[in-house]
Structure 1
């Protein structure tokens, strides 16, 4: 009641207005979600063998779990409660993140593994991995403030990945994968709020 007492109109009207606002907001979100469902249609003669992900917490699939210096972690409940097994995976979500949905929609794999996952199987390299790190940004200062893997560090991991990929699938197959890979870049969640305030 304390909040409503400061308003210039009766509390029951404030509660009613708040309820109407919340319902309107939920309807708007539902409308947007329904209208923006993406359908990926790849021509029959085009093959996308892998997805590589760079970015911040929006697309991080667990690299920060293995970055002990970072404060940007999500390896504890309630993160992962809707993921298979109901356990935190390092995704900044209660389930999948956009990179997982994109890989699944492309028919590549259901989940994009984190490149730094110590349990990553070599065969996973051929279908793609995630280099993203929660707290990363375009500006190196952004990553430094959260001890995240900066974009330059993610590119270093990508160079390392290329060498490992060649070792797993051979030079010719690695060239094909790298020439036809779907690369997803998303770095905005931390960069712009820090740069604009």
Structure 2
């Protein structure tokens, strides 16, 4: 059985790499996007939180365990994150750097950066609760970034880069998992349907502001199956740590509204190519059927007990780390492993490849 499983995993790796290679090859037949620009939360934060005063940090081992030189860059995983993988698939570059905290070369700037901040959400309160960079402040950083690009390549070329870049927006998980379900602030003000309406309205406002700053190709990522995250299993899944159906139903409702709203914007904003990207469905399938994808664990993270450790509590001094993170769907109690992300990005390429290019 072990040899069969090993053979299957090898086959799966080859299939995923072939899919990504095919996507890269396809991109060569059409103009390659000049840049990728990223907004959102910890899923796509490559280290912006290193530069701000917040407890939501991961610039220490064992984070980065399987990254280049085993470096803990501030990425909330053991290796690459979705923005890196998408940039590579599109043939832009291998890593999307954080805008804050490091000195970026001209080439790094003009090919795109990430403004994402772990702990933020479409709801402004979500960022305030953990002192993350709000989505509005990320837009302000983008305005600053545009001026830097203009200084490097000139106004006309800078506008061309802005208009033809690919924009990735990935947030909303913390709005539901933390701000609404875990803390009482918003529940005193909204019932769940009203809160979902509020967050989707905030998402729509963000995308429209981004559009009016020159963005045209904008991909907005769905919320994941929140009730199946290891941390939420621990907090709300009972003694058996089952997936919490209430949390998942909330994510489904949010995603449905978000999808409809993005389609509406796509139909009304001239020359816009706004795409709603469903990660809920493929991630839930991986979680519920891990062996099908070559994983052995989908209920716990690789770091520590895998039930609650995330950010500061996932560290080399107080926790053990699994030997092979590629066997785990989740790296810590909240964030997937690089291998899980690779499978998800492969799914995105297969389903939306022509649109995102």
**Conservation of the 8 A alpha-carbon contact between 2:49 and 2:117:** yes
Aligned to 2:43: 58
Larger gyration radius, structure 1 or structure 2: 1
CA RMSD of superposed structures (Å) = 2.1
Q: Give me the TM-score of the superposition, normalised by structure 2.
A: 0.44
Aligned match of 2:84 in 100, 105, 116? 100
Shift of residue 122 of structure 1? 2.6
Shift of residue 175 of structure 1? 1.1
**Conservation of the 8 A alpha-carbon contact between 2:45 and 2:115:** yes
**Conservation of the 8 A alpha-carbon contact between 2:125 and 2:179:** no
3-state secondary structure, aligned to 1:58:
helix
| Cα deviations by residue, 1:10-32 (Å, 9 ceiling, x for unpaired) | xxxxxxxxxxxxxxxxx9xx8xx
- 1:70-109 correspondence to structure 2 within 5 Å: 70-109=54-93
Q: Which runs of no fewer than 5 residues in structure 1 stay unpaired?
A: 1-26
**Structure 1: 4+ residue segments shifted above 4 A:** none
More helix by share: 2
3-state secondary structure, aligned to 2:169:
strand
Aligned to 1:44: 29
| Cα deviations by residue, 1:103-161 (Å, 9 ceiling, x for unpaired) | 00000000000000322223211100000000010011100111000000100000000
| Cα deviations by residue, 1:33-90 (Å, 9 ceiling, x for unpaired) | 96xx6664437232301000000000001100111x1110001110011110111000
Shift of residue 195 of structure 1? 4.8
Could you say which structure has the greater relative contact order, defined with CA pairs below 8 angstroms and 6 or more residues apart?
A: 1
Tell me, yes or no, if structure 1 residue 185 matches structure 2 residue 169.
yes
Aligned to 1:169: 153
Q: Give me the TM-score of the superposition, normalised by structure 1.
A: 0.78
Q: Which runs of no fewer than 5 residues in structure 2 stay unpaired?
A: 1-8, 182-357
